[in-house]
Amino acid sequence: MSLEKQRLWLTFSEQLCQRPIICELARSFDLTFNIRSAQVTQRTGIVAIELQGEREVLKQAIQWLENQGVTVEPVEISTIEG
Amino acid sequence: MQTEFFSHLRCRECGRPYPKEAIHVCEWDFGPLEAVYDYEAIRRQISRKRIESRAPTMWRYREFLPLDGEPSVGTQVGFTPLIRAERLAKALGVREAYVKNDTVNYPTLSFKDRVVAVSLSRAKEMGFTVVACASTGNLANSVAANAASVGLESYVLIPADLETSKVMGSLVYGTRVVAIRGPYDKVNRLCSEIAGKYQWAFVNVNLRPYYAEGSKTMGFEIAEQLGWRLPAHTVIPMASGSLLTKIAKSYQEMIDTDLVEKTPFAIHGAQATGCNPISDAFRKGTELVQPVPKPQTIAKSLAIGTPADGYYAIQTIAKSGGAAEDASDEEILDGIRLLAETTGIFAETAGGVTVACSRKLIDSGKIPKEGSVVLCVTGHGLKTAEVLAGVLGSPRLIDPSLREFDRLVSSDLAKAPIPEETNF
């Protein structure tokens, strides 16, 4: 099975900012991650991250992040315009 | 190939240079890439007289656009009217108001023809034969029409729940429309994957650095049409926030190349309350935009819950001394009517947002009542006419009788004339 890379923006709400979600992600799924940039304030956190793994694992990982309340967007953020 | 004016792409975050290819984010920090020009060379080359001698299209500012050669798509786009709107100004309570009227932009009646003209011209230069976009309306129409006009094959990706009327405006040009089932975020992610997998010119993804630059022409035109001066206040609708940042960039470029005097220009942003991530962040005093997961507004063309340029839009507004506002659905409809009844311009919902937010900015003193303001109206009302159903009332019905018509007119005349101070 070939490995795929996905470049994503993760947005954390105020409630999630103190939880080590990326650490939990890496321990729960067979993938590697590479943080490219991050900004965290008291109200929100935004992380640019590259995930690498098998396609199915990536899909499950993204679903898990969303279930935790993280907003997951592709590197383009929004591809659909008016 | 390096041309005289457009030299390369550069990361907006870290400043790393990139070649002029079909790429859009920095490999290091995922920052957006932006076109870089040699302004000193442009300043030597260009003058007001030279621009005025050219055809009345957006291409009269050709030196500021990211192409290597001459434009080949959308050569008739732009140079839409800037009208002095005295009755609108009076209704809004401001000394002077102008409307930049992109409802009559060619060929698809929205400002998107500007960005598509640039991106498809660039796509042809780069040898692409298939162009694509993901859109819920205006962008889809424009890509389909402009691609058809030069024989480019095109794909338009849309969410499956889009109204039929919106789809017709793309299907008619023979484009391949693909409707994707599922919630918005999943559709969005699939579009990103498709753009990554297929070697197409995805105008608002891998060609975004070129595409976005087309918005600047709206700003160039405003300044030229005002008699080569910058407006003190400009109100701009925000979806991704890109148009706002690019109009500000165009004003700055005109200063840097001596086309206009350096005067203060405040840039104001307008959103719908049902999808206001940028205006909300601005009000809270933060540059970090909190996504709106489920936008709920009649202004569909502005309903981007995760605005790609939101951060930069907030910076631009703050730096220029502007402000951001948002408008409810009811205020948007009032804005559409007010614009139509005072200027004869029928705008889509985004135009209603601009008018409604302008009123709020004037009422709150952020735009001074004795000042002057330009309202950017970006798309035609016929595209979103369904929102007015039940709002405008119905025609009065009579039998084919002159007496009945006379009676109706007499009753109209008997009513007091509408006072000019009518509060719309």
Identify which of A44, A66, A73 has the shortest CB distance to residue B288. A44
> For the whole model, what pTM was predicted?
0.94
Q: Which residues of B touch A41 (CB under 8 A)?
A: 286, 288
Sign of CA dihedral A28, A29, A34, A37: negative
**For residue B133, pLDDT beyond 90:** yes
**What tens digit of pLDDT does each residue of B313-339 get?**
999 999 999 999 999 999 999 999 999
- List the one residue out of B214, B199, B195, B21 whose CA is nearest residue B116: B214
Sorted by where each begins, the domain ranges of chain B are 82-109+226-388
CB B245 within 8 A of CB B317: no
Q: Do B188 and A73 touch (CB under 8 A)?
A: yes
Lowest mean pLDDT among A27-36, A73-82, B5-14, B24-33: A73-82
Cα B195 to Cα B144: distance, rounded to the nearest angstrom:
17
**What tens digit of pLDDT does each residue of B349-407 get?**
999 999 999 999 999 999 999 999 999 999 999 999 999 998 998 899 999 999 999 99
Nearest Cα of chain A lies from the Cα of B206 at a distance, in angstroms, of 9
pLDDT, residue B2, reads 46
Q: Do B303 and A82 touch (CB under 8 A)?
A: yes
Domain B82-109+226-388 fold is Rossmann fold (3.40.50)
| Residue A69 φ/ψ region, left for φ over 0, alpha for ψ in the -120 to 50 degree band, beta for the rest | left
ipTM of the complex: 0.89
Nearest Cα of chain B lies from the Cα of A20 at a distance, in angstroms, of 20
**For residue B229, pLDDT beyond 70:** yes
**For residue B5, pLDDT beyond 80:** yes
Burial (CB count within 10 angstroms: exposed 0-12, middle 13-18, buried 19+), residue B107: middle
Domain A3-74 falls under CATH 2.40.370.10: no
Establish, for the pair of chains A and B, how many residue pairs have beta carbons separated by less than 8 Å.
102
Cα A82 to Cα B311: distance, rounded to the nearest angstrom:
19
Q: Do A78 and B308 touch (CB under 8 A)?
A: yes
